[in-house]
Chain A
Amino acid sequence: MIKKLNQIAGLFLATKVMAWAVPDSKRFIKGILITTLIVLLCLYFHSEFLNWSEISRNTKYISTSYILKNLIILVSLVVLFFYLKTPGKKDYAKVKGEEKIYTKNNNEEYFDKFRKKDKLKTKAERILEKDDKN
């Protein structure tokens, strides 16, 4: 029991660390999970259909079912590829009542210029820099 709990805690922590280190890992895991689910469901329904066709001796649509199954798997893999290729929309932390600080001329993108700067300078640092130049 304790081992299981330990494993769950370890998995949880590892996911948290991964999400911190690779922010896009959530998107990656989501894409992989959804594609796996689609493929597994497709395989399950296909095997069910094969069983049914064997019992009912209805072999009319068997070739179509194979084409459809492989097509679904292929399409889901292609969609997954493009989903992972396209960069996701960056979601920044929201503050309650944040919309009040923006005006018609400025929105959330206002802070992007500060995000992109390598090093931000305080007023004191700027004054010191000016003095150094003089």
Chain B
Amino acid sequence: MSILSDLLAKAPQSVKDKYKIKIREKAIVRVKEKIIKHNKTVDDYSDEEMEDLIASEEGNLNEDVKVTVLSTLLVAAGIEIVAGG
């Protein structure tokens, strides 16, 4: 998580906000999909439970971004080694 946090810490506030908004919206979409999958309605969850669901999804999404960034970096490094060697 530190790489992503470092990157976010260095980025300007507007970019940070945009990243947060994007991630929050994706997390909400994932939560909606989960609710649909389990045939529930939003009334079945309290505000705290819903916040917990969205916060967990946000955490998962941040993990996904971290993995994607790392894999991209590794692939780029791998290509460079193959091309150079």
Contact = CB atoms under 8 A, between A and B. Distances in A.
Tell whether A and B belong to one assembly. yes
A70 B48 CA distance: 59
A93 B29 contact: yes
Interface stretch (B2-10, B39-47, B66-74): B39-47
Interface residues of B, number: 25
B28 A106 contact: no
Given A21-B18, A102-B42, A122 B25 contact: no
A96 B37 CA distance: 11
A97 B32 CA distance: 9
B41 A103 contact: yes
A131 interface: no
B64 interface: no
A75 B47 CA distance: 48
Chain B's interface: helix, strand, loop or mixed, by majority?
A: helix
Given A95-B36, A120-B51, A123-B48, A114 B42 contact: no
A70 to B, nearest CB: 39
Interface string B25-69: 100110011011001111100011011101110110000000000
B25 A95 contact: no
Say which size band chain A's interface belongs to.
20 to 34
Given A100-B39, A106-B43, A114-B54, 19 more contacts: A21-B18, A93-B25, A95-B29, A98-B32, A101-B32, A102-B42, A111-B28, A114-B28, A114-B51, A115-B21, A115-B25, A115-B28, A120-B51, A120-B55, A121-B51, A122-B55, A122-B56, A122-B59, A125-B55
Interface of B: 18, 21, 24-25, 28-29, 32-33, 35-36, 39-43, 47-48, 50-52, 54-56, 58-59
25 contacts: A92-B28, A93-B25, A95-B29, A95-B33, A95-B36, A98-B32, A101-B35, A101-B36, A102-B41, A102-B42, A103-B42, A103-B43, A106-B41, A106-B43, A110-B42, A114-B50, A114-B51, A114-B54, A115-B24, A115-B28, A120-B24, A121-B52, A121-B55, A123-B52, A126-B52
